[in-house]
Amino acid sequence: MEYNFRDIERKWQKQWKDSQAYKVKNDFSKPKYYVLDMFPYPSGAGLHVGHPLGYIASDIFSRYKRLKGFNVLHPMGFDSFGLPAEQYALDTGQHPAETTKKNIATFKSQLDNIGFCYDWDREVQTSDPKYYKWTQWIFLQLFNSFYNRKTQKAESITQLIKLFEEYGSGAAGIAPSAFSFTPEEWKTFDEKTQQDILMNYRLAFCGYGEVNWCEALGTVLANDEVVNGVSERGGHPVVKKKLRQWYLRITEYADRLLEGLDRIEFSEAMKEMQTNWIGKSSGAEIDFAVKGFLNTKLRVYTTRPDTIFGADFMVIAPELELVNEIKSEEQTTAVDEYLAYVKSRSERERMAEKKISGVFTGAYAINPFSGREIPIWISEYVLAGYGTGAIMAVPCGDERDHKFARHFNIPITNIIGSYYNGEEANPTKEAILQNSGFLDGMVMKDAMEVAIQALEDNGIGVRKVNYKMRDAAFSRQRYWGEPFPITWKDGIAKEWKGELPLILPTVEKYGPGPDGQGPLANIPEWVAQELETNTMPGYAGSSWYFLRYMDPHNDSAFCDRKVSDYWNQVDLYIGGTEHAVGHLLYSRMWTKVLYDLGHIGYDEPYKKLVNQGMIQGSSRFVYRMILTAIAISDNNKPIPQIFISKNLIEDFHYGGQILKEGIIFNQLEKILSSKGIKINVDVKVDYYHPNALHVDVNIVDGFELDIEAFKKSKPDYANAEFVLEDGKYICGSEIEKMSKSKYNTVNPDDLVLKYGADTFRMYEMFLGPVEMSKPWDTKGIEGVHRFLKKFWRLFFDEIKGKMWTEDEPTAEELKVLHKTIKKIEEDTERFSFNTAVSGFMIATNELTDLKCHKRSVLEPILILLTPYAPHIATELWSLLGHSDSILDAAYPRFEAKYVAETSKEYPVSINGKLRTTMNISLDAAQPEVEQLVLQNDVVQKWLEGKPPKKIIFVKGKMVNVVI
RNA sequence: GCCCGGGUGGCGGAAUUGGUAGACGCAGCAGACUCAAAAUCUGCCGUUCGCAAGAAUGUGCUGGUUCGAUUCCAGUCCCGGGCACCA
């Protein structure tokens, strides 16, 4: 009986479905384990081999935990709202709901092919009204809450009103704002005023923000859709435009988001990225008077108030209102020109720009301590959203300021003496201050406090903690997203009074509404109800989906509290680093809000996070010659497309001269002359290089092109001709992102069909560590497939049939078994799936060599294999005569006694270089080992009769003789 | 530009805590079985020198710490991810 994977996999996938083998019950009596994948966005391109990497890892771990006796929740769903579906709708006129439905069906069938243990009854789709009902509900929780700084948590907005009624704007816990009022005044305010004030505290609030506006497309663009100031699609100009936007007040949670990192198992890199994103810093805000302006102050934020005497110029963000106010007459033209330039620049470009640019405003700030006049500049490297949007530049201490000063010939004040070499800024805190007025003679880090104190005492500055993180923009001028359950009347935002969900209406026109509004503004009935026309962004639904899986059909709550208490935090979350800051921070914040409001019992969603690396595509190229300049057709026949094999490209011409002796030329002449075409060898080609075109990697074997398949791939290529090397067409290659447009995607379906799901699963794991990015290469899959066939042969021989016996195992066989149990268990626990796969290979090779076919050895290994290759394991388990399911078998226990060793082949080094090995008892101590080693021939040869300086012996590891 | 990763044979990778670099697999080479092929099995396989024994060299690059460095430290180059409206 041979390993017929197709039948086996089909049979068991059906059996699992029919028997509901992966149904997960909310059975509170069992210990739980929650494994979560970052759910996919169901793109039209379908699943490629990069997607399942994390899913296979999580599936293996889920099945492993199940074997260990846990009630395992391992759900899957779809992040089905998003921009690409809307763009596709715009392009094709199909409704996003339709295309999304189709895409999800494709994804699901592809996922099922791989044999995942999902309980599809728990599937969630963020675009499903039954789901987004609760996204809207949570949004309203945010809308109706504020952050109480005293209690350090979210509380109801009615509580805030109570505080205002009782204590006014000065109530404890209220963040300072521009409003200041007494309880009596609050009561006299009209509704609009009250609501405007409350809007400054709501966790979901409305404000104004700048977006990339493209007039020609009538739409807002993402930063990566803007290239060099124009839209990627169409190349239309893009400018900054202020629009009313919703925001989440995530900044109030900055400290708790930082603190929470100490309680969760994320990689240090991930924690660092989040910490840097939050960007907590402490320093001071300082108000500088502006020369000639009585009531205008320039407020800067600095982390180094100790360097205030070294501030040689100020830089303010070009978009600050202040610029127009203070610019001098002579500088007006220059400033306005610069503002126009900055308006066309994306934030990304501004930050990445190496070239120094800026303009002097003509105005001067006054150093409050020395009275020195400091010129005020504008430059794109200062962004309005950071701090106050203005910095005091200290060139001797900050490299960017230093370069700026050098570039514009601004004199540099040295306040750090010999710490500054005149060439490079030095950001030290250890220097003793000079030229610094009352701070002279102090060490910088001590001067910090003194400076802040002086600022506060004189009322010109305050101590300030700042965050780089900004409040999260939470609205999109788009159609395919959750509608806000909000109505606008007389400029007041109110909770929509209907029953949730507020259904996304069907539209005829997906195009943007008037004045930069979203497509919903085109619907008269929607506008008539005064409903919000923005929709929520992609991360709304994904910020809380882990909770919905626990209780997916609950119609009266987003998740029953008893259920969320049971499943609790996600024990293991697997996903890509590209979500390091966005999604992970947002969902951490949402969890904290839900916790604060008492809806769930924990404030961190994910206990442990494992990052999967990205699988890159290995693209293949063909090289097409351009013959129009040199080919002469004597009878006006069309010139065929000619493709040159990769290593011949350079062989065609040299210095513009066609090489008549070249390999290409001979072949080319043959091909062309048969078609009545001649090459004009006298034409000089100044520049000649063939076009490199992406070719579908699926019709390339390694680097060799399948020419027939290529000809069939496009009507254009049907009559193509090829210049070959050694009879083959060799393609070029490059590692790129896996994407449909690069023709480098590989569909898992094809591999499953050819090798089976078990082979595919194990091969994806065998490629390398899950966390690491690596290029996909289908070639090696054969090896894993051969391994499974070899494993099968331990049980069945093609000719002899059944091979297993009931014999007692030998010590050697037991050693293999227990070594394998240890290896697989340890590797699985530490997510080292690639080495686990090789562990299975080693075990199979060793048992084959030992001719071991004993049930008592094979059965435990079969259980170990189940999480990795569930189909073959289940089939063999059943063939071994079991009627119960191997999915719930007892995980084998490792027993050290079977693998104990008494001696070791010690490596013996001379001066750290390995020279020989010696078998020495593991009990042997230093003196005994030294004696043995000195007697060794090889060691004696190296010693040349001299005594060794030292002998280093690490028990169980190695011996090193130092001479 | 800033933040975070990564760099080891022809290729994917292993070396878990500073202790035998290259496990396992792919590709390649030689052989067995076969009319032949497929499948399977056996052996070789970092580089250089050598018949061999062996020696030298080798984990992006330059230094350092150590009896000993792929592993730790400093610097540097290259590649990937993120930088707030792609998901």
Q: Is the pLDDT of residue A800 over 60?
A: yes
Alpha-helical runs (H) found in A370-512: 399-407, 444-457
A856 CA, B39 C1': separation in Å? 29
Residue with tokens 């050290």: A896
Q: Is the pLDDT of residue A331 over 70?
A: yes
Which nucleotide, over all strands, has the C1' atom closest to the CA of A785? B25
Bridge-based pairing state of the strands A704-705 and A631-633:
unpaired
Q: Is the pLDDT of residue A721 over 90?
A: no
CA distance A610 to A497: 42
Which nucleotide, over all strands, has the C1' atom closest to the CA of A763? B25
Q: Which residues contact A758 (CB under 8 A, 6 or more apart)?
A: A5, A9, A115, A788, A868, A869, A870, A871, A872
How many Cα atoms are found within 13 Å in the side-chain-facing hemisphere of A961?
A: 28
**Amino acid A856: pLDDT:** 96
CA distance A228 to A339: 16
A778 CA, B34 C1': separation in Å? 30
Identity at A851, one-letter amino acid code: K
**Amino acid A193: pLDDT:** 95
Q: Which residues contact A753 (CB under 8 A, 6 or more apart)?
A: A6
Q: Tens digit of pLDDT for each residue in A360-398?
A: 999 999 999 999 999 999 998 888 878 888 999 999 888
Which nucleotide, over all strands, has the C1' atom closest to the CA of A837? B24
Fold exhibited by the domain A748-895? Isoleucyl-tRNA Synthetase; Domain 1 (1.10.730)
Using pLDDT thresholds of 50, 70 and 90, give the confidence band for residue A742. Answer: confident
- Which residue's CA lies closest to nucleotide B26 at its C1' atom? A780
Instruction: Tell me if residue A26 falls in helix, strand or coil.
Output: coil
Residue with tokens 């391994």: A787
A767 CA, B43 C1': separation in Å? 27
Tokens of A644: 């040159």
Which nucleotide, over all strands, has the C1' atom closest to the CA of A518? B85
Q: Are the CB atoms for A559 and A551 separated by under 8 Å? A: yes
Share of chain A above pLDDT 70, in %: 96
Mean pLDDT of all residues in A142-148? 97
Mean pLDDT of chain A: 90
Mean pLDDT of all residues in A685-691? 59
Fold exhibited by the domain A280-467? Isoleucyl-tRNA Synthetase; domain 2 (3.90.740)
| Closest alpha carbon to A379 in A311, A328, A303, A320 | A320
**Amino acid A469: pLDDT:** 92
CA angle A29, A31, A35 (to 5 degrees): 130
A547 CA, B79 C1': separation in Å? 38
Q: Tens digit of pLDDT for each residue in A246-270?
A: 999 999 999 999 999 999 999 989 9
Q: Which residues contact A306 (CB under 8 A, 6 or more apart)?
A: A429, A433, A439, A442, A444, A445, A447, A448, A450, A451
SS (H, E, C) A215-270: CCCCEEECHHHEECCEECCCCCECEEEEEEEEEECHHHHHHHHHHHHHHCECCHHH
| Closest alpha carbon to A85 in A612, A510, A417 | A510
Which nucleotide, over all strands, has the C1' atom closest to the CA of A958? B19
Of 3.40.50.300, 3.10.20.590, 3.40.50.2300, 1.10.357.10, the CATH number of A903-962 is 3.10.20.590
Q: Are the CB atoms for A59 and A583 separated by under 8 Å? A: no
Q: Are the CB atoms for A595 and A564 separated by under 8 Å? A: no
Share of chain A above pLDDT 90, in %: 63
Which nucleotide, over all strands, has the C1' atom closest to the CA of A516? B85
Which nucleotide, over all strands, has the C1' atom closest to the CA of A838? B24
CA distance A844 to A868: 15
Q: Are the CB atoms for A49 and A615 separated by under 8 Å? A: yes
- Which residue's CA lies closest to nucleotide B79 at its C1' atom? A735
DSSP A336-386: HHHHHHHHTS-HHHHHH--S---EEEEEEEE-TTT--EEEEEE-TTS-TTS
Which nucleotide, over all strands, has the C1' atom closest to the CA of A950? B67
Which nucleotide, over all strands, has the C1' atom closest to the CA of A702? B27
A61 CA, B41 C1': separation in Å? 35
How many C-beta atoms lie closer than 10 Å to residue A884's C-beta?
A: 9
Q: Are the CB atoms for A129 and A501 separated by under 8 Å? A: yes
Q: Which of A111-115, A147-151, A580-584 has the lowest mean pLDDT?
A: A580-584
Q: Are the CB atoms for A281 and A448 separated by under 8 Å? A: no
CA distance A740 to A617: 10
CA distance A209 to A914: 66
Using pLDDT thresholds of 50, 70 and 90, give the confidence band for residue A853. Answer: very high
Q: Which helix (H) or strand (E) segment is A160 a member of?
A: helix A157-167
Residue with tokens 């759900």: A75
- Which residue's CA lies closest to nucleotide B66 at its C1' atom? A912
Q: Are the CB atoms for A354 and A404 separated by under 8 Å? A: no
- Which residue's CA lies closest to nucleotide B14 at its C1' atom? A835
| Closest alpha carbon to A644 in A657, A656, A661, A627 | A627
Among A76-80, A691-695, A713-717, the range of highest mean pLDDT? A76-80
A309 CA, B9 C1': separation in Å? 59
**Cβ neighbourhood burial of A400 (10 Å; 0-12, 13-18, 19+):** middle
Using pLDDT thresholds of 50, 70 and 90, give the confidence band for residue A105. Answer: very high
Q: Are the CB atoms for A245 and A206 separated by under 8 Å? A: yes
Q: Which of A426-430, A632-636, A766-770, A900-904 has the lowest mean pLDDT?
A: A632-636
Q: Tens digit of pLDDT for each residue in A899-955?
A: 988 888 899 999 888 999 899 998 888 999 999 999 888 898 888 888 888 899 998
Q: Tens digit of pLDDT for each residue in A555-566?
A: 999 999 999 999
Residue with tokens 């220059």: A334
Tokens of A697: 């990697």
Positive or negative CA dihedral for A534, A43, A579, A601?
Answer: positive
Using pLDDT thresholds of 50, 70 and 90, give the confidence band for residue A212. Answer: confident
Positive or negative CA dihedral for A42, A45, A51, A52?
Answer: positive
Among A678-692, A735-749, A881-895, the range of highest mean pLDDT? A881-895
A831 CA, B17 C1': separation in Å? 18
Q: Which of A61-70, A118-127, A831-840, A932-941 has the lowest mean pLDDT?
A: A932-941
The count of residues in chain A is: 963
Q: Which helix (H) or strand (E) segment is A686 a member of?
A: none
A223 CA, B86 C1': separation in Å? 10
Positive or negative CA dihedral for A90, A93, A99, A102?
Answer: negative
Using pLDDT thresholds of 50, 70 and 90, give the confidence band for residue A832. Answer: very high
| Closest alpha carbon to A380 in A224, A245, A240 | A240
Q: Tens digit of pLDDT for each residue in A106-134?
A: 999 999 999 999 999 999 999 999 999 99
User: Which nucleotides of strand B lie under 7 Å from a protein CB?
Assistant: 1, 3-6, 11-16, 19-21, 23-27, 39-42, 55-56, 67-69, 79-87
Instruction: Tell me if residue A298 falls in helix, strand or coil.
Output: strand
Q: Is the pLDDT of residue A534 over 80?
A: yes
- Which residue's CA lies closest to nucleotide B40 at its C1' atom? A790
Q: What is the DSSP letter of A888?
A: G
CA distance A745 to A618: 9
Tokens of A769: 């560590």
Mean pLDDT of all residues in A743-768? 94
A838 CA, B22 C1': separation in Å? 15
**Amino acid A577: pLDDT:** 86
A406 CA, B64 C1': separation in Å? 35
CA angle A193, A197, A203 (to 5 degrees): 140
ipTM: 0.95
Mean pLDDT of all residues in A535-562? 96
CA distance A906 to A918: 5
A848 CA, B32 C1': separation in Å? 19
Strands (E), A140-233: 145-148, 153-156, 204-214, 219-221, 226-227, 230-231
Q: Report residue A340: phi and psi, to 5°.
A: -65, -40
Instruction: Tell me if residue A917 falls in helix, strand or coil.
Output: strand
Using pLDDT thresholds of 50, 70 and 90, give the confidence band for residue A688. Answer: low
Q: Where are the domains positioned within chain A?
A: 280-467, 625-736, 748-895, 903-962
Which nucleotide, over all strands, has the C1' atom closest to the CA of A774? B12
Residue of higher predicted confidence among A690 and A655: A690
A352 CA, B76 C1': separation in Å? 22
Instruction: Tell me if residue A684 falls in helix, strand or coil.
Output: coil
Q: Are the CB atoms for A508 and A90 separated by under 8 Å? A: no
Q: Specify whether the backbone of A142 is left (phi greater than 0), alpha (psi in -120 to 50) or beta.
A: alpha
A798 CA, B37 C1': separation in Å? 19
Q: Is the pLDDT of residue A711 over 80?
A: yes
Mean pLDDT of all residues in A852-865? 97
